[in-house]
Amino acid sequence: MSNLELLLNQYESYITAPWQPAKAAPQRVIFVIYDPKDERRLRARVGEFELATGRAKKGWLKYDVTDSFAQWMAAHEYRESYFEAPTALSIALVEFEKYVSGEVREVLNNPDADENAVVAILGVASLFGYMSVAKLVESVEKSVRGRLLVFFPGQHDDAVYRLLDARDGWNYHAVPITARE
């Protein structure tokens, strides 16, 4: 059985278990952790996670942040200046963080994203260098009514998450789902 099949089985086992309604915000966040080299394979199989969620009688909404930086930059009035002097962009990244958090919060506030729904976030690797996944999750977690599922290419060891295995991690209390559990 491949790692992605094991991961899907672990997710389905978790998502079909009864949900505790009084969970704290960080405990309503689920990280599906996979090897970064499996990104394309996982994207090709996201529909299977949606089907597993449906079999559990839960709703499903998906939001892909892959193009968020490009969309934000294309609409930014100073984009030409940032292309000429990329180091100046670091000041504006706070705006980008608010932009992405607002986009995700908008999905979480959708009437279909109720207490019985999973909102899946895909493409967080594209945030690397612009915004931390930790900041994104912490900024939206209070808006989660059902569950927030983050497809996370990286590692998890003892509550420490490392995006793309490339930088220091952060400690977070989400539910980790890995192929090795």
How confident is residue 149, by pLDDT bands cut at 50, 70 and 90?
very high
How confident is residue 85, by pLDDT bands cut at 50, 70 and 90?
low
The predicted structure's pLDDT at residue 155: 72
Mean pLDDT of 26-50: 91
- Structural domain spans, the chain: 3-15+29-177
Number of residues written out for the chain: 181
The predicted structure's pLDDT at residue 129: 79
**CA-CA distance, 33 to 9, in Å (whole number)?**
13
Q: Which two tokens stand for residue 171?
A: 């400690």
pTM exceeds 0.85, yes or no: yes
The predicted structure's pLDDT at residue 62: 97
The predicted structure's pLDDT at residue 181: 53
